[in-house]
Amino acid sequence: MKDSDSLKDYRRVRRLAIRSLFEIIEQSSEGTVIVDKEARIVWINERYARRFGLEDASRAVGQPCEKVIPGSLLRQVASNGQPILLDMMDTAKDPLVVMRLPIHDDVGGVIGAIGFALFDELHALSPLLKRYLSMQQELASTRSLLRARQAKYSFAHFIGNSLASLEVKRRARRSASTDSPVLLLGETGTGKELLAHAIHNTSPRAHKPFVSINSAAIPETLLEAEFFGTAPGAFTGADRRGRQGKFYLAEGGTLFLDEIGDMPLPLQSKLLRVLQEKEYEPVGSNEMIKSDVRLIAATSTDLEAAIKRGAFRADLYYRLSVLPIGVPPLRERLDDLAALSEAILEELRSQHELQPSAMAMLGKHAWPGNIRELRNVLERAALLSDDLQLGADEIRAAIGTLVPIEGVTESPAPVSGETYSEARERFDRELIQAKLAHCRGNVILAAQQLGLGRSTLYKKMAALGIAESQ
């Protein structure tokens, strides 16, 4: 008995709710109209009738809805039974925001439709529209930021089939499957950043941000804020809203630290803490923020030598070098020259081709600037040559100062009237300069390769007027 009473109560409440809803909408809306199955008006309130030029609402009864309300879609709703919850309807006066609903009989059949004109002044919807537009702009901004923070390169962009290149790609692919830090070691222009992109793109974090920062390109005073962000008003001139750091932007993804060998010692200790504790503190804040970032670092600096000089922390080095990958210089992967040159010319959209003599000339240069220098040379040669076939002369002119590879050093041309002592001095100077260029100014390495003691080489450089910065 109680269940029956409860059911009756439910039906009664439902009927009352439906009636109340109709009365509220009908009284507060700009107009209401009801049509039968054939879209003939069976009832329209006085406000709506007057809006469409009828002094008496009863004159609309029995007429097709489109005759009274041009542009009405009630016929469509009465025909297919599909509601149109919100729509814009143009009228001679102002546009209306309308809602159209089907009317069903007791067995569920469609017997007509009812339409409500909710608003005749669109500024009533202004707060909702502003909020919608704001959400759309925020979403677009987020998508744009994510696109900007996506890695650009894959392993296919690391050109080369030499044994050295294949080993680099093998180790890099293996590192992609872990979250351990990766340390890319190699001279400038060898493709370390490209490999960092490729590792991220192959990792489980590929759908997350890839953020890079060059420690050598940012003033030391700003580096900490660049890494960890700032709290609102952290220092004079700081943004009142605070600023997000690179660790925040890379959350869930990969942070690539280029030229980490140039990072100041105080920041090295803070970076070590982030790696160990997985948290950091923005500048001027007491709040600790959890960090889930995979770190890839790169440097052209000899970090072990930097540790001995006290310029780099040994504990940070060991923490970073879990997966060290040495990226070989171009002079150690000359077998890749042909493939690299073809890829570069294609990227430049050049129609030029390299003759065998040009390839032979490319193989004589030590490429101290590595792939970046190779691109520069090929672009210069293509721009300066009117012939689509590039030969040895065009390449030699584009290279400028040739740095011979050890074992293929060109014999110096004799100078007329030169004494033996003068010739020997000139030979020593050219040999030492070439070796220093080959070792990128590393005197210790140059001395080892020349078979000289470090102090002996320094003395010879001083006697010959060769600056250490060479």
Which region among 8-22, 197-211, 329-343 has the lowest average model confidence (pLDDT)? 8-22
CB 367 within 8 A of CB 398: no
Question: Which CATH number, 3.40.630.10, 3.40.50.300, 3.30.750.200, 3.50.50.60, labels domain 155-328?
Answer: 3.40.50.300
Distance (Å, whole) CA 184 – CA 295: 11
Model pLDDT, residue 128: 56
The domains spanning 331-399 and 420-464 adopt the same CATH topology = no
* DSSP secondary structure letters along 378-426: HHHHHHH-SSSEE-HHHHHHHH-S--BPTT-PPPPPPPTT--HHHHHHH
Instruction: Map tokens 């070792």 to a residue.
Output: 439
pLDDT in tens, 91-114: 777 778 888 999 988 888 999 999
Q: What is the mean pLDDT of residues 225-252?
A: 77
Rounded to the nearest integer, the mean pLDDT of the chain is 83
Model pLDDT, residue 405: 79
Q: What is the mean pLDDT of residues 72-79?
A: 92
CATH of domain 420-464: 1.10.10
Domain boundaries, the chain: 25-121, 155-328, 331-399, 420-464
Stated pTM of the model: 0.58
CATH of domain 331-399: 1.10.8.60
pLDDT in tens, 26-57: 776 778 899 999 999 999 988 888 888 888 88
Give the list of residues 6+ apart from residue 201 with CB closer than 8 angstroms, or none. 151, 153, 154, 210
Distance (Å, whole) CA 5 – CA 18: 20
Give the list of residues 6+ apart from residue 40 with CB closer than 8 angstroms, or none. 62, 63, 64, 65
The H-or-E segment that residue 112 falls in is strand 110-119
Superfamily of domain 25-121: PAS domain (3.30.450.20)
Checking if the pLDDT of 3 tops 60, the result is: no
DSSP 468: T
